[in-house]
A and B are shown apart, each in its own frame.
Chain A
């Protein structure tokens, strides 16, 4: 059983980490654009804001499994095939990016407006205000957002497994459900619980040491 579970765990970690990493990169950029273009933002531009807002909300309303199926052509174009562990990274990323964009946007929005004003008062540029002031101040909240996203992606990745993505979700369905190997199913669930617990604890730890 170990030689089934261990590679599956590896696949889950690989899918989740890579997808979360890409989602954070994309989501962060989206969050910055949202923040800049929002009403009262540093470069207010309501048409761009509204468009992004609609796109993000639309992507977030899709049930993940449907999103994955819709994205098959895109995945095939980017990776060369639409199923498999690496292929699952594409829908996972696209599913998670709008989610983390919103979380980072709200983390940045929570930065004390007085701090932003102070930065302006000593002549900081818009770029400096976002990266040298707001991001510094919002770092603990951004870490929490990434932790939350990673855990959500681990959950999504189990679904990806159901359509040929591999990983622990795949094992749970293939062995636990179709072949009635209850013990295998219990183990996968236990491993997932432990995984989520570790991620959350690590995230909390990082939050604690960055929060002053």
Chain B
């Protein structure tokens, strides 16, 4: 659906995107993650032509964005909705008027507009606020209005630029749930830019990690977080604090393996005690994934490893 190949972008002499290649599939929720200044917003803005790229190719539905004329680009943008960190609503228009604006500009009939806006306001749960002005709404409500506005022209793709970064955790979750509903109900592909790992874990099926314009990771979200490589660990700022003595073995729990009582079973089978010295479990995309580090004595190493190898699980010695 979105095919990006060897994309480069420079601001004067500084390179902000370095040879980025990704394919976003139809119907997925794809996250572009990075710290500020990583180039993630720039990359996203290339998708709907708000920014141009220096070289490489970016195709949406087989159309090369750079080659679209100004008029065609406007027409093309109807197909891509976008929401922003600070909502970007028109303060002097009511909720209804804000949502109706894109359709008005594209000269839809009054009846069509009325019908569509009502439908969308119901979808985002704001039918009662139709005549309110943005200044009377909470942050979460404003973002809901912005989401409704982004959907008025029935796009296939929704771009979300740090849409939850200005919201509190509970509101963030409710907005993410709304995005998920939209993704499933309307079959809209969602590309979201964020610096919040929680957002990625909650909603994204796949994620791209960007640092200084370079891709440092691109995989299914569970995989990325389950067994992060060194770069990814540095990116997440995670370090394990484990004992110096003995052997530390890290056992990974991919999708829902948590529930196989592996640790206690091993203790019983081997008739052995070990210390659990580190660990982390979290929910990613509704699956529980994570890892646990156990500490054993040197002389037990062979026995334990022999046992673990038979279990067909992912593990490593730290």
Residues on A facing B (Cβ under 8 Å): 112, 114-115, 117-125, 128, 132-133, 136-137, 139-140, 210-212
Contacts and interface: CB of A to CB of B under 8 A. Distances in A.
Contact of B91 (A120, A124, A137): A137
13 contacts: A121-B81, A121-B150, A122-B81, A122-B149, A122-B153, A123-B74, A123-B153, A125-B74, A125-B105, A132-B101, A210-B92, A212-B92, A212-B135
Given A123-B77, A124-B105, A137 B82 contact: no
Interface residues of B, number: 34
Nearest to A133: B90
Contact of B90 (A115, A120, A123): A115
B92 A136 contact: yes
A123 B93 CA distance: 19
A132 B153 CA distance: 18
A123 B92 contact: no
Contacts, number: 76
Interface in B73-104: 74-78, 80-82, 84-93, 101-102, 104
Contacts of B75: 123
What DSSP secondary structure best describes chain A's contact surface?
helix
B50 A122 contact: no
Interface of B: 48, 50, 74-78, 80-82, 84-93, 101-102, 104-106, 133-135, 146, 149-150, 152-153, 159
A114 B93 CA distance: 15
B266 to A, nearest CB: 54
B105 A128 contact: yes
Contacts of B77: 120-123
A115 B102 CA distance: 12
B50 A121 contact: yes
Contacts of B78: 122-123
A123 B87 CA distance: 17
Contacts of A137: 90-92
Contacts of B105: 122-125, 128, 132
A175 to B, nearest CB: 47
Nearest to A115: B88
Nearest to A116: B88
> Which interface residue of A115, A118, A120, A125 has the most chain B CB atoms within 10 A?
A118
The 7 closest A-B CB pairs, nearest first, are A114-B88, A118-B88, A122-B102, A121-B82, A123-B77, A212-B133, A123-B74
Contacts of A140: 92
Contacts of B80: 121
A121 B133 CA distance: 22
A117 B86 contact: no
A122 B75 CA distance: 9
Given A121-B77, A122-B77, A212-B135, A136 B84 contact: no
Contacts of B92: 136-137, 139-140, 210-212
B217 to A, nearest CB: 28
B106 A114 contact: no
Nearest to B49: A120
Contacts of A124: 74, 102, 105
A133 B97 CA distance: 12
B307 to A, nearest CB: 56
Nearest to A211: B92
Given A121-B81, A122-B77, A132-B105, 18 more contacts: A112-B86, A114-B86, A117-B84, A120-B50, A121-B77, A122-B81, A123-B75, A123-B78, A124-B74, A125-B105, A133-B90, A136-B90, A136-B92, A137-B91, A137-B92, A212-B91, A212-B92, A212-B134
